[in-house]
Each structure stands twice: as C-alpha cells, then as structure tokens.
Structure 1
Amino acid sequence: MYLEWAPDPALAGRVARIWTNVATSSSTQLVVPDGCVDLIWGPDGPHVAGPDTGPMPVRMSPGDRYSGVRFRPGAVGEVFGVPVEALRDSRVPLADLGVLPDLTPGTMQEALAVRLRETPEPDPAASAIAAALLAGRSVGQVAWELGLGERQLHRRSLRAFGYGPKTLQRVVRFQRALRLARRGVPAAEAALASGYADQSHMANEVRRLAGVPLGRLLARP
C-alpha cells in the first residue's frame, strides 16, 4: 500500500512529498524517471535513489516497508555531499556518502531539515528551467529566455538535475503524458498536449523511459 503526504513546513520549499510503501504481496514495483531524487529507508537501511534516466525495478516481499522523502526536481543541491550527476541511475547506501549518520525513519524529516540549513541553496534557476521545458520550450528557447548560452544551460542543468536539459525535457514530457493518461485522457490527446509529435512518438519514448508500453504502465499500481 502506497501513501504520501505533504512534508513539514521546514522542508516544503525543497521537498515535494513524504511517502511510505508497504508490500502486501510479492511483487516487482517499477520506478520510472520523474526528475526527482529520493532519500529512502528500506529493509536494508537508508539509501539515496538518484535521478533516473530509465526504469528501475524493485523486488518487494510481503511486509517490506519503505519510507521516503522525495525532493523537488532540481532542489536536492549538495545535501548528500556529492554532485547530483554522481547519483544518476544509482541507489547509494547513505553510509557511503558520509552524511546524516544517525538517521532513523522517525527522525528523517528533522535530520534532513538540519542538513538543509547546513548546505547552500540549489540553483535558483532550476525551477524555471524545468517549468519552461514542461511548457514545451526548446532547449535553445530556454537558454535564450534565461540569458544563458546552451553550454551554460547544460552545465547548470547537470548540476541541478543530474542530467542535461534534453534528457530533462524527455523526462518532464513523459511525466506530463503519464499524468494525463492516468486521468483518462486518450493517448493521442495526451501525446499532443505533452509536446510529442504524435502518439507513435510518445509510445516510443514511453518504452525507452519506462521499459514497458503505456497500457502496461497504467495498469501498475
């Protein structure tokens, strides 16, 4: 059973949600790219789930419990003591990063709030970059609107999100299409509303990012 709720006010500017997931049967949960970084406490202890560029299957047994803090896209900054791109497509034990050594599930939010105060703020342009790409702007347009060269935009995107703006564009477009499809919007309409050339383009991108067709992805809990 998956549940989520808003974070403590001290975290709200950088954390999107707090969540738990308890397995009631043996299953494989499919984690798909969403532009976020998660701090997770699972059966093997705490670890960091970096920004994904493809599907990450998680095998769960009955009774397995996961508790997590999901950062907003581009908001993780230097919280974990390493560049965000070093976490890309990875699941890293928190002990290997040397931060938050005394973390427990019950103190996760409090300890994280302290850690956030100790580290620099993330790039203030990160939210504008993500919003502009979600709105359908090209990478060149985003760079021009922010007064940046495309190389500068790439470097800042890499530092904020863990990958360049073209990958970020693919991820936010995929997530928008997925949200629309889950609301019952027909696939062809969801494709056009999300910035794909057509339904076939969306189908190919969904397979690349999620590893399964859209219909199978929607059927998963």
Structure 2
Amino acid sequence: MYREWPSRQVSAVMWHAAAASPTEIGHRVLPDGCMDLLWTGDTLLVAGPDTTAYVASWPLGARFIGVRFTPGTAPLLLGVPAHEVRDRVVPLADIAPAARVRRLIEYVGEARQRESALEEVAAGWAERVDPPDPRIRAVARHAGVGVPVATITEEVGLGERRLHRWCRAAFGYGPKTLARILRMNRALAMLREGTPVATVAATVGYADQAHLSRDFRDLAGAPPSALIG
C-alpha cells in the first residue's frame, strides 16, 4: 500500500508505504528529480535523486513514512550536494551531526503522529535556511516543459558549464538528464489521466510513440502500460 498527500508546512509531498500482504512487498520507485527523508521505524534515511527506476523490497509488515522534497529543495535543507547522494539511500547520520540525528530519531520515534513529527522536522530545517534561489525553480519549470538547455541558460543567466555544475548540486544531474526525467513524469501523469499516448508524446516533446516507449523503458524499466494502473 502506498499513498501520498501534499505537505502543509514545506514544499514537499508526504507519503506512507506499507507491505501488508505478500503482493505489496515491492514498490517501483521512479526517478523524479526529488530527494526524500525517510522514517523506517527506528532510524532516518535520506534517499538521493535517482537516475533510473528500481523496485524497493519491503519485508512483510514493514511501514515507512517519507517527505519527498520538490526538485532542488533538499540539498539546501540537508547541506549536501544532490550528486553526492545520487542513486543512493544513506543514513541521515552520514551527512548530519550524529548528536543532532539521535535527537531527531528520538523525537520521531516517540511521537504519537509520526507523519506529523517527520513533517515538523522538515519544516524546522526550512525555517533555519534562506529560501531557495528562485533560479532553482525556474530551471525545474523550464526543464519540465522541454525548454532547450541553451534557452534555460539565457533565462537564468548562467553559462552552460556553470548551469551543469549548478544543476548537479541542486538536482543530482545535469539539465539534460533532469529534463528527460521530468518529461517522463509529466507524460506518465497525462497517461494516468487517460490522455491518448499519441497526444502525450506530441505534447511533452517526444518524436513519436516509439520514442516515448524507449524513454520509459530506459528510465522506468517498464513500458508505459505497466505504470498506468
């Protein structure tokens, strides 16, 4: 079982996952340019941005809570460049002071409403840092609708090489990879709404339906039809 809902306190999505039966012990995690803070039941982990999908294996009865930060947000809160945790899930204690992490683990572990406690942890981080550079959202917004990298560099006032370094720190990968991942997620959202594949491919910038299918297999590890349900 998996469900998510918008956070009321931070620029993020809250989620809850559980394996209540043998048919729920795996969940396909798609790359989306985001980073997550996870509560596993006894510790806190950080999931970096993924470049390809993977199937998370959950022990039967396992329950997880998470905060999925919008693209480019988590590195500022955590104080770690996104590319350093790309395609990795690491203990929060690996990237934050151990004493601080112990206090957070105790706080979440002892809370009656752990979803709320985890959300409050994220909100506390957000209160202690400056707001994200508006160019972060501008890059994600432009990349998500297929704006060419050359145009993005002009819009945000960065040279192409500097933009690439800046994107690796904020999102985990360069603008071209970010655009490809965000395009796939936009296409998937449209497909789940019932939009015909041909229309989706043309709308989000694929050359044709075959191009869309290839990109899904490369990034999501499955054809679009396997992800719509």
Which TM-score applies when normalising by structure 2?
A: 0.87
Contact 1:22 1:64 in 2 (8 A): yes
Contact kept? 1:74, 1:123, Cα under 8 Å:
no
Tell me the equivalent position of 2:13.
17
**Matching residue of 1:95:** 93
Q: CA RMSD in A?
A: 1.7
Task: Confirm whether residue 178 of structure 1 aligns to residue 188 of structure 2.
Answer: yes
Q: Which residue of 1 aligns with 2:75?
A: 77
The residue type paired with residue 20 of structure 1 is H
Given the alignment of the two structures, is residue 113 of structure 1 paired with residue 113 of structure 2, yes or no? Answer: no
Distance, in Å, in 2 between the alignment partners of 1:6 and 1:134 is 20
Per the alignment, residue 148 of structure 2 pairs with 138
1:208 matched to 2:218: yes
TM-score (norm 1): 0.90
Distance 1:97 1:207, change over 3 A: same
Q: Quick check: which one's helix share is greater?
A: 2
Partner of 1:150: 160
Please give the secondary structure, in 2, of the residue aligned with 1:77.
helix
SS in 2 for 1:132: helix
SS in 1 for 2:133: coil
Structure 1 window deviating more from structure 2 (209-218 vs 31-40): it is: 209-218
The worse-fitting range, judged by mean Cα deviation, of 40-49 and 126-135 is 40-49
How many residues align structurally? Answer: 215
Counterpart code for 1:6: P
Shift of 1:212: 1.2
Residue 68 in 1 paired to residue 66 in 2?
yes
Task: Report Cα offsets for 1:30-81 as digits up to 9, x if no partner.
Answer: 1010111010112562211101100121112332111001101111133223
Are residues 1:195 and 2:191 paired? no
Identity of matched residues, %: 42
State the distance in 2 between where 1:78 and 1:146 align: 19
- In 2, the alpha carbon distance for the partners of 1:81 and 1:141 equals 29
Shift of residue 28, structure 1, vs aligned partner: 1.4
Give 1:120 deviation, angstroms: 4.2
Instruction: Check the 8 A contact 1:77/1:121 in 2, yes or no.
Output: no
- The code of the aligned residue for 1:76 comes to A
Q: Which residue type is aligned with residue 51 of structure 1?
A: P
Q: Which residue of 2 aligns with 1:3?
A: 3
Q: How far is 1:142 from its partner? A: 1.0
Q: More displaced, 132-141 or 112-121?
A: 112-121
Structure 1 distance, partners of 2:144, 2:125, is 30
Amino acid at match of 1:152: R
Task: Give unmatched runs, 5+ long, in structure 2.
Answer: none
Q: Give the conservation status (yes or no) of the 8 Å contact 1:76–1:122.
A: no
* Whole-angstrom distance in 2 between the partners of 1:70 and 1:39: 7
Moved more, 101-110 or 71-80: 101-110
Query: CA, structure 1 residues 214+24, in 2 after alignment: closer, same or farther (shift >3 Å)?
Result: same
Q: Which moved more, 1:172-181 or 1:112-121?
A: 112-121
* Contact 1:75–1:160 under 8 Å retained in 2: yes
